[in-house]
């Protein structure tokens, strides 16, 4: 594949993942206040412009997951930078999705990981560097290092605990957008069963 | 007006306000992580089902404000309950909108209020009751009472400082959705001028 | 009601009608090639700017009816002008909706009208004035006169037969947008039953 | 590329083409009554399920082109079948887009083709087989054969003249969705210049 084909394959996998999520009503239960980001990075991406994401994020309309816009380059900042940083530890990771954190999600995510022998992790936002670090971009390396160190490697599922001004969130990581969408869908189905 | 006409007038004013916001590119700069809620309560509303809001909230797509869905009853929970509570202190308030908090917005909002002789306020989330109170719904009365007490009345513009797991947010209150949209649009224009 | 309240009541009734249609999966079966217009005119409207309609029309996404945009003034031209013209014969008509024409819809629409004692009508596009008339706007009066004359009054349901370059379409007329949405929904449900 | 990569590359090219069209305000001028279909077929596609298209088509909202839904498989029927048929004559064609026909578009399209030495064509719907043929699917082979015969090959740009119940439409054909989007965008820009 040349560079253009590579980029289109990324965008197409992201569109496929969005169609999967939109076709899963249970996923509406996992949409957090900040809405859902779904991102997929080009091989070797160094900036958010080389990471594809859903414009306007994924929200819920009439009880169903609904993408606000098209998959597009540069449509995510924070989750995009996280993927770029995670890859320094595990170059097989290209995609990520965030979703709601609560105790039920946590129980499901932990079982899901132990069934598969996957690492499960969390990041402790109370120990985050200060706001200045956030603004100059140096906090992401710190956060990802802390996650990897405390989890014994790059975990496929982890949560970021609540922080000052920050909603707690779950994140699933994987090699492709469809892969992380599948994880989120399976967790959503179990969530539906548990919560009725 | 009978009850049906009254309800449709509320929904129509909300649609008008959405059209105003969608037509203001500068407002995209004020969209917070949790997206924008815009709500308008029926006279005498006692539950969120009697409060109209934009389904899926208002996000930004291709740099422009974009409503994810239609104005509909029951489409907001938290901001809807806040309006219901505020009205116990000031029955002229029916509508509210939330938007991004940062220092620049705060300066603009304070000037805006002092130009008009309006009360300006804030709520201190660090003193919020615990999570249990949040879940059983008793925290909203507490929060609104704290806002009114500390502001010397119901303020037209206020911010909720960051909290544990909570993004800081600005809120504008008014008698109609178009009125709070006008406030948000004027603040967005000044924000654009200040930030270039 | 003053003028602004009147306008907002119209927009709010249109939003209510859109919510009804979006909540009716069967209506997706009645969406024609040209998509669905739903319009509601202000009392005394003389131009399409005084008629509210759904921006971008109503289409089907993932098998469900979906409004492309907000209810807004001036968002329809052709159906808006038709309503304005129809009112010269029946001032109780303010709203209209168009939907798919086929033989099954025709049978259902005829039964529906005869159950209610309503006039049923059709317009014969083969006898339409030429294209020049269309462009200078003089064809709408001609078309509506022909409809009223041939139907014995203003019919609540009628179809426009296919024309040169024109898809055949059904139109329902009524006093409010919610009223014509109810007609369309009932026809869609019967259509679903008949076609399986 | 394996089959999955091939499919995702198609979907990703379609998403890229949608982003191009959404970023071109002039293209809103070329949106026909039936809205815009944009399709891209898999190599060897034999049914519309193997052709990707934009769910709900592309419409105009607030004066800008706006895709109603995601790129998805099976989201087009008629244009998808046309592409499948055209390929029997020219296997390099995989993608197509339709847009408005009027005299100005025709003049621009003809110049555009002659500048490039491309074939320009049209199909005469007045000589189409009857409705029965349309329903059993045998009319598409007839229509495409007539187009190819009358144009001296597969034309890159052609129009379908108005038919009974059918809006006249322009169609651009090419090897990829981004290629036909580029043609449509260039024609839209010239249209804007000509019509002011």
In this complex, how many residue pairs, one in chain B and one in chain C, have their CB atoms less than 8 Å apart?
A: 65
- For residue B6, the SS3 value is helix
Degrees, nearest 5: CA angle D69-D71-D74: 105
Q: How far apart are CA B105 and CA B195, in angstroms?
A: 10
Chain B residue numbers with beta carbons less than 8 Å from the beta carbon of C67 are: 70
Q: What is the pLDDT of residue D128?
A: 65
Residues of D with CB under 8 A from a CB of B: 22-23, 62, 64
Measured between beta carbons, which residues in chain B are less than 8 angstroms from residue D64? Answer: 62
Contact between residue D39 and residue D16 where contact means Cβ atoms under 8 Å apart: no
Instruction: List the single residue in B55, B66, B165 with the smallest CB-CB distance to A167.
Output: B165
ipTM of the complex as predicted: 0.92
Q: Chain C residues with CB inside 8 Å of A23's CB?
A: 62
Least reliable range by pLDDT among C19-28, C186-195, D138-147? D138-147
β C120-123/C157-160 pair status? parallel
Residues of C in Cβ contact (< 8 Å) with D66 = 56, 68-69
Contact C78, D75 (CB under 8 A): no
Structure tokens at D141: 């082979």
Asked if C62's CB is within 8 angstroms of D55's CB, the reply is yes
Smallest CA–CA distance from D68 into chain B, residue:
B68
Dihedral of alpha carbons D106, D112, D114, D118, sign: negative
Classify residue D13 as exposed, middle or buried by CB count within 10 Å of its CB (0-12, 13-18, 19+): buried
Q: Which residue has the tokens 């492709």?
A: A176
pLDDT tens digits for range A119-151 = 999 988 777 666 545 665 678 999 999 999 999
Tokens of C76: 């329809």
d(C-alpha A147, C-alpha A122), whole Å:
6
Q: Which single residue is written with the structure tokens 């029309």?
A: C57
> Could you give the 3-state DSSP secondary structure of residue B154?
coil
The DSSP 8-state label assigned to residue C42 in this structure reads P
DSSP H or E run through C53: strand C51-54
What pLDDT, on the 0 to 100 scale, is given for residue B32?
Answer: 96
Give SS3 for C78. helix
Q: Tell me how far apart the alpha carbons of residues C98 and C148 are, in angstroms, rounded to a whole number.
A: 18
Q: Is the four-CA dihedral B123, B125, B127, B128 of positive or negative sign?
A: positive
Q: Which residues of chain D have pLDDT under 50?
A: 132
Question: Does residue C22 carry a pLDDT above 80?
Answer: yes
Chain A residues touching chain D at CB-CB below 8 Å = 1, 5, 7-16, 18-19, 22, 67, 70-72
Q: What is the pLDDT of residues C153-186, one digit of tens each?
A: 999 999 998 888 889 999 999 999 999 999 999 9
The token pair at C39 is 């319009």
Residue of A nearest to B167 (CA): A165
Per-residue pLDDT averaged across B158-164, rounded? 89
Give the global pTM.
Answer: 0.92
Nearest residue of B to residue A74 by CA position?
Answer: B62
Q: What number is the average pLDDT over the span B106-132?
A: 86
Q: How much is the average pLDDT of B183-192?
A: 98
The confidence score (pLDDT) of residue D164 equals 82
Cβ contacts of B56 on chain A, cutoff 8 Å: 59-61, 66, 68
Q: What is the pLDDT of residue C137?
A: 66
Mean local confidence (pLDDT), B158-181: 94
Residues 6+ apart with CB under 8 A from D51: D39, D40, D41, D42, D45, D73, D74, D76, D80, D83, D84
Name the minimum distance, in Å, from the CA of B113 to any CA of chain C.
27
pLDDT in tens, B18-59: 999 999 999 999 999 999 999 999 999 999 999 999 999 999
Q: How many contacts, defined by CB atoms under 8 Å, are there between A and D?
A: 65
DSSP-assigned letter for residue B70: -
Tell me how far apart the alpha carbons of residues B170 and B184 are, in angstroms, rounded to a whole number.
10
pLDDT at B4: 87
Per residue in C37-57, pLDDT tens? 999 999 999 999 999 999 999
Give B71-96 pLDDT, tens digit per residue. 999 999 999 999 999 999 999 999 99
A165 contact residues in B (CB cutoff 8 A): 162-163, 166-168
Residue B119: φ, ψ to 5°: -70, 140
Element housing C171 (H / E)? strand C169-174
Residue B187 reports pLDDT greater than 60: yes
Q: Quick one: tokens of A149?
A: 């160190």
The per-residue pLDDT for C39 is: 98
Closest-CA distance of chain A to residue D50, Å: 14
Pairing relationship of beta strands A120-123 and A157-160 according to DSSP bridges: parallel
Most D CBs within 10 A among B62, B67, B69, hence the mutation to make, goes to B62
**Spacing of C-alpha B122 from chain mean position:** 13
Helix/strand/coil (H, E, C) string of chain B? CCHHHHHHHHHHHHHHHHHHHHCCHHHHHHCCCCCECEEEECCCCCCHHHEEEECCCEEEECCEEEECCCEEECCCCHHHHHHHHHCCCCCCCCEEEEEECCHHHHHHHHHHHHHHCCCEEEECHHHCCCHHHHHHCCHHHHHHHHHHHHHCCCCCEEEECCEECECCEEEEEECCHHHHHHHHHHHHHHHHHHHC
């Amino acid at each position: 594949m040349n560079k253009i084909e590579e980029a289109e394959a990324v965008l197409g996998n992201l569109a496929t993942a969005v169609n999967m999520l939109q076709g899963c009503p249970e996923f509406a239960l996992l949409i957090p206040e900040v809405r859902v980001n779904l991102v997929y990075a080009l091989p070797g991406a160094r900036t958010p412009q080389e990471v594809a994401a859903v414009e306007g994020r994924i929200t819920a309309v009439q009880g169903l997951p609904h993408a606000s816009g098209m998959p597009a380059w540069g449509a995510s900042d924070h989750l995009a930078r996280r993927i770029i940083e995670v890859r320094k530890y595990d170059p097989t990771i290209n995609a990520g999705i965030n979703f709601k954190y609560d105790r039920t999600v946590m129980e499901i995510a932990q079982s899901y990981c132990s069934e598969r022998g996957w690492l499960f992790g969390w990041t402790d936002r109370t120990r985050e560097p200060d706001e200045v670090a956030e603004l100059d971009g140096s906090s992401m390396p710190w956060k990802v290092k802390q996650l990897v160190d405390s989890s014994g490697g790059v975990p496929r599922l982890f949560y970021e605990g609540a922080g000052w001004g920050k909603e707690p969130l779950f994140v699933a990581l994987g090699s492709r957008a469809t892969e992380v969408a599948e994880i989120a869908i399976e967790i959503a189905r179990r969530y539906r069963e548990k919560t009725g």
